[in-house]
Amino acid sequence: MKNICNIFLADWKRISKNVVAVVVVIGLAILPALYAWFNILSNWDPYGQEATSRIKVAVASADKGAMVDGISINMGQNIIDALQTNNTIGWVFEDDTEAAVNGVYAGDYYAALIMPEDFSEKMTSFLTEDMSHPQIEYYTNQKKNAIAPKITDKAKTAVQQQVNSTFISTVAESLVKAADGVDDAAKEHGITSGNQTVLDVVTTKMELVSRQLEAYDTILTALISVTDSASSAINMAGQVSPDMSQTVLGNQRALDAMQDILKITSAGNIINSGVSGDLADGLGRISGTMDSIIGIYAQADGNIGRFSSLISSARINLQDTKSILNELQEEMDETLTQLNDIRDSGNYEMLLRLIGLDADKLGSFISSPVEIETEKIYPVENYGSAMASFYTVLSIWVGALILVAIIHVGVRPQKEHPQFSHTEAFFGRYITFFLIGQAQALLVTLGDLYYIGIQCVSPFKFWLAAAITSFVFSIFMYSLTVAFGNVGEALAVVIMVIQVAGAGCTFPIEVLPEIYRKIYEYLPFTYAMNAMKETVGGQYGMDYWKYLGILLIFAVIAVFIGLVVAIPCKKLNEKIEHSKHKSGVMI
């Protein structure tokens, strides 16, 4: 123990008397901290709005627009207008699509979004039988930067989702407002009242009109029968219902009302506009024809011959009129059957409930029916704080590596310690490595916490993890160098490279190649970083102490290498050193 202290004190006495050595020691303590701080600051918040707003993405539209019910729309321009208020990405709005694409090839832009000429036309194609999905053309420069395409891809996806949700919301609002408009129009014209729906009134009125058309059919059948009689002297009063005029006039009012209803239902697409148009036209023709027939019937004053003559003069064919009437009856009955099926279905009840809702709220809900409520477990304020554990651990490893590269691990006899054992030399010289390593750990943690200002829920434990990490790393590399000389230093570099790639520092270990997943649990980086993460985001159970305990196992392994493995390697190291010295160019 005495020789250990003598070796340590002799080392520091020589260092204190040499200005260059003092400067070197100070530099050794500062360099790892600078390495950590610069890297943490450079990764402070790369995915925040302030950072991503500097990533240039070109936007251009060649959309020619489309006409919908006489209204001109241009969805491409609407997207550009919406993006002008979006600051998450550095949108650059180009007038020319070719300039936007060329900018991506030249590296001026990371990506480009192009709305083609037929964008609006395809967007509104759902109103036609020939539906076609509109496409936004997306160009991305994957050569310029490895991470930027991931950011621009998310921006592209966000634009697509916003366009889709806005489209769905608009369609839903329009449908509900159209249905409300039909209902309001029906009430305004006195067609519905109270809790009645348009469909209820339509089916009731159609059933009434259908019965009235049957009465018309009976009248036409009677008129055809008497006009076919051979004797023109026969009086029609005995053959045709005496109140025919009153029947027709009464039915005419119902037919006129039915035509108004059909116009409203056509506007709201309750009945197909083509079908409702045909029904309305048919009812109009029948109504007009029956008006003419009643007028002629009155003029004939019951005389069949005069009636037939006037009918011919008016170019009215009773048989054709009856055929038209029968066709109209069939179409009316078919439509009535379909309406009854709709009214009796569960979908109609659901539609009634939807119509009663607020159109804006319904549109907003349908465009995004599911919302995700995020509850952050162990929340971390920014990316820099999340990466602080990695860069701090890496800087401590780099600091230990610089120590073994600058300071000799071998101890020569001095007057203060003329004789000493291998163990005494090992621990006597290591105390210097340990103290400088602790200075490195203290400086880097103080800078992380109070200069950079990383998030940390337990500053003391953060420093303690750094201190233990420095002890383990310094004795590990010290032992490798004691046992294997320059080969040990090279091994330390190789181990560092493997750990940076395979300790799950930047990417989850699950996405790394199989070889890294297998060695992950055997790397000291893993446990040093996990211990520090517990102090940054929050501690779970005894995990912090478990990680530090496992980390200390590497110190035990290091001591075994330095004290036991080093002895048989001593002569080999001397030969390697002698050979290097003979080269005249290697230290």
Per domain, the residue ranges of the chain are 2-45+384-583, 57-171, 198-344
Q: What is the per-residue pLDDT for 102?
A: 95
DSSP E strand stretches across 418-494: none
User: How remote is the C-alpha of 579 from its chain's centroid?
Assistant: 63
Q: What is the per-residue pLDDT for 268?
A: 45
- Grouped pLDDT means (10 residues each) for the chain, 587 residues: 84 89 93 95 88 91 82 82 85 92 94 91 77 88 89 82 69 54 50 53 69 71 65 48 53 56 50 57 71 69 66 70 77 74 60 54 61 85 92 96 90 71 90 96 96 95 97 96 90 91 81 87 93 94 96 96 88 74 66
> 71-73 and 66-68: which strand pairing?
antiparallel
SS3 category, 46: coil
Q: What is the per-residue pLDDT for 307?
A: 66
Contacts of 501 (CB under 8 A, 6+ apart): 512, 516
Q: What is the per-residue pLDDT for 262?
A: 56
Phi, psi at residue 345, to the nearest 5°? Answer: -85, 160
Q: What is the per-residue pLDDT for 237?
A: 47
Q: How many residues does the chain have?
A: 587
Query: Could you give the C-alpha distances from 312 to 293, 302, 306, 324, 580, in angstroms and in order?
Result: 11, 16, 10, 18, 130
Q: What is the per-residue pLDDT for 386?
A: 92
Q: What is the per-residue pLDDT for 503?
A: 77
Query: Could you give the C-alpha distances from 408 to 132, 138, 182, 489, in angstroms and in order?
Result: 75, 58, 93, 12
Q: What is the per-residue pLDDT for 367?
A: 56
Phi, psi at residue 59, to the nearest 5°? Answer: -135, 130
Q: Which residue in 329, 179, 341, 340 sits closest to 255, CA to CA?
A: 329
Angle ∠(237,243,248) on CA atoms, nearest 5:
115
Q: What is the per-residue pLDDT for 113?
A: 92
Q: Which residue in 66, 159, 64 sits closest to 113, CA to CA?
A: 159
Q: Which CATH class is domain 57-171?
A: alpha beta
